[in-house]
Amino acid sequence: MDHAMIQYNKMTQVPVQKLVLRLAVPTILSMMVTVIYNLVDTAFVGTLGTSASGAVGVVFGFMSILQAFGFMFGQGAGSLLSRKLGARDPRAADLAASTGFFASFICGIVIAILGFTFEDGLISMLGSTPTIAPYAKAYLKYIMFVSPFCASSFTLNNMLRYEGRAKLGMIGLLSGGILNIGGDALFIFGMKMGIAGAGLSTAISQVIGFSILLYMFLSGRTQTKLSIANISVKSGLLLEIVELGFPSLLRQGLGSLATILVNFKAAQFAGDAGVSAMTIVTRIAFFLFAIALGIGQGFQPVCAFNYGAGKFARQRAAYRFTLILSLIVLAVLTVFAMLFSGSLIRIFRDDPDVIAIGTRALRLQCIAQIFLPIVMVTEMLMQSSGKKIPAAVLSALRGGLLFIPILIILPYFRGLYGVQEAQPLSYILSVIPAVFMARWFFKITPAEDLPE
């Protein structure tokens, strides 16, 4: 039995509960290392002062832009290649993978050029205050140098997941994340580089992680093959990839805009302490959500592959299992975080104002995050099944379509409390359309598998 048939049988015959977990575990481990690095980075930089801590949130806005485009090409190409492999069309999968990867790398180059050209304006646009700006600039310049590698790393990792090779993606992300933690300690403290050391450490680890991920494709360890000869821009393939990945771009792009707006609003009502507190809360909240997100990302290749193979009953079972498990996991984690919210904030910045602002914001985030898997898993179902418009709507809702206007309006009535309450409120409201869309999808999709 050849390699392709073994992979096909695994994706269409292994019980979906076992398969989702098998694909989710490497993704969860990768995300945990990445999130732990982000938390360690925030803690290390926090020792340099409140303004330096706020700079992490500013740079995170730029990293979110790179992630938005990397995810767009990765999710678009990944969804397409997984369904093509499910339909036993490996040539089409190769074309999708190559086109998505090279488009992502070129996009990263364009972002870097624009970033260097408009650096001062960019830092201001990302929500920096005058006291945060010098720290943000010292950190950001290293990230801009490696923008193509950052963006295309997200693309490569997503394509590996959609092929069912999450373990290979884990190796690249774990390597980069672990090196980043060690590099932070070396450059920030050992070499006395301050916040610039955090930027240099991130840049080096991103290039190394990218190299490992690319090697997985070039060494023949994947079913899909990357090659310049496989790039296709005339057949409408690139447009299809962008359309399929657009929900991810929309979600991440709105998320980037929301991050920037949070920085502005927090600075408006609480200065550097507000920016620092909301940055810390964002990192902790994502740490809690990352495990549920990892479970969902284990579901995506199972969903796309079986949809392409006409295994609709398996897709339905995988959705139900992923949703229930994500809800349980996130409920347990958020209860813990609510009980120890003040202590968690204090780990990163022992500033009374930062702790007071962050503690309330974190508790509100925890309450709302319990509902988030309903939106997340349903969005993944739509995107993996090629339902572009419903996926885009849910991505926009989760990314900030509700959050941004609420964040603009609510602080006028609630001040800093409104800044803290805006995202939790938007999460809860986004559940309603997600429930209706899930019901619609399963109503129009056959309940039974198609015959072989």
At 196 the three-state DSSP class reads helix
DSSP 340: T
State residue 214's pLDDT score.
93
Residue 145 has a pLDDT of 94
Contacts of 390 (CB under 8 A, 6+ apart): 382, 437, 440, 441
Per-residue pLDDT, 318: 93
| pLDDT value for 4 | 63
Tokens 């849910």 — which residue? Answer: 394
> What per-residue confidence (pLDDT) applies to 447?
75
Task: Give average pLDDT by consecutive 10-residue segment, the chain, 452 residues.
Answer: 67 86 83 74 77 80 87 89 82 90 95 92 83 89 94 92 82 83 86 89 92 91 84 80 83 76 82 83 83 87 85 91 93 90 84 88 87 90 85 79 87 86 86 93 82 62
pLDDT of residue 222: 84
What is the sign of the dihedral through the CA atoms of 154, 160, 164 and 168? Answer: negative
The answer to whether 308 touches 86, Cβ cutoff 8 Å, is: yes
What integer pLDDT is reported at residue 235 of this predicted model? Answer: 66
Could you tell me how far CA 113 lies from the centroid of its own chain? Answer: 23
